[in-house]
Amino acid sequence: MTTSQKGIAVVTGASSGIGAIYADRLARRGYDLILVARSPEKLDAVARRVAGATGRVVNVIAADLNHKPDLKRIETLLSANGGVAMLVNNAGVGALEPLLGSAVDEMEAMIELNVTALTRLTYAVVPALVARGGTVINISSAVAIAPEILNGVYGGTKAFVLAFSLSLHEELADKNLRVQAVLPGATATNFWDAAGGSADQLPSEMVMRSDDLVDAALAGYDRGELVTIPSLPDAADWDAYEAVRQKLIPSLSLSAPAARYRVGAVT
């Protein structure tokens, strides 16, 4: 194995599904890897497979990002590693039950993983990425813009990921940081089992294979997209959505209420 000139890609939630496929695809693109997930056995299996197929250097770190000492350990390791060129924030968990059927402690744990861990790992690597150039890829979800579809707390966490990505881009795009937010729809991974459901309950035309999802996301990355929605047939639809959002921004903070809210406006 030789050290990659592209540097190291860090992938969280890399022991299976989308994260494991990102590991394979990024190694084939010439990145060395640091893979993070809870299961050392599964991580080791992914590492052996990817290293054997690509010849890249693959290191694994078993850690539970919901466990604060583990999260801090990963932050420290990443911030001290001068070779990191890309962070793929893929680790996350979902929920299918509505608000009244959800345990608040489980919702808090989901926020800690989907929002807090993602934010802290991004903070750990961004200063160095700005200094030498690099990329953050955040795996959001289609529910970021359609929170009515699934559990609202889950949708809220993924809306945060999208908003955070847009803000990072606005603040740091001219400072060597490349940002991509990926918004998958229903994908054939263990997400459904972990969330207490099954992808088999969905119409087959709604569920994308995980390797197709990652390949599409990387195609969007190659196209320079800030936001990639792999199943969206016409990219112009997102452009129109974003154009309307941008049109709203100048009017979101003004010194006077809109005319419809003034005293006497409603009879």
- Contact present, 87 and 14 (Cβ < 8 Å): no
31 is catalytic: no
Asked whether the predicted pLDDT for residue 124 surpasses 70, the reply is yes
For residue 34, is it left (φ>0), alpha (ψ between -120 and 50) or beta? beta
Per-residue pLDDT, averaged over 1-27, amounts to 91
Supply 217's token pair. 């996301």
Residues linked to residue 134 through DSSP beta bridges, in sequence order = 177
Neighbours of 20 (CB within 10 A): 27
Report the distance separating Cα 59 and Cα 65, nearest Å.
17
Mean pLDDT of the 210-219 span: 96
Domain 8-261: CATH superfamily, name plus number:
NAD(P)-binding Rossmann-like Domain (3.40.50.720)
Residue 149's pLDDT is what?
Answer: 87
Predicted local distance difference test score (pLDDT) of residue 267? 58
Q: In the prediction, which pLDDT does 107 show?
A: 95
pTM to 2 decimals?
0.92
What pLDDT, on the 0 to 100 scale, is given for residue 198?
53
How many Cβ atoms are within 10 Å of 250's Cβ, its own excluded?
A: 8
Give the model's confidence band at 201: pLDDT under 50 very low, under 70 low, under 90 confident, else very high.
low
Amino acid at 253: S
DSSP 30-90: T-EEEEEES-HHHHHHHHHHHHHHH---EEEEE--TTSHHHHHHHHHHHHH-TTEEEEEE-
Over residues 120-144, the mean pLDDT reads: 96
Q: Distance from first CA to last CA of the chain, Å, rounded?
A: 76
Q: State whether residue 195 is helix, strand or coil.
A: coil
Predicted pLDDT at 47: 98
Question: Which residue in 22, 154, 221, 261 is the catalytic one?
Answer: 154
pLDDT value of position 204: 66
103 has pLDDT over 60: yes
Res 24 pLDDT > 80: yes
Angle at 138 between CA 134 and CA 143, to 5 degrees: 160
Residue 194 has pLDDT above 80, yes or no: no
What is the mean pLDDT of the segment spanning 65-89?
A: 97
Q: What is the pLDDT of residue 199?
A: 53
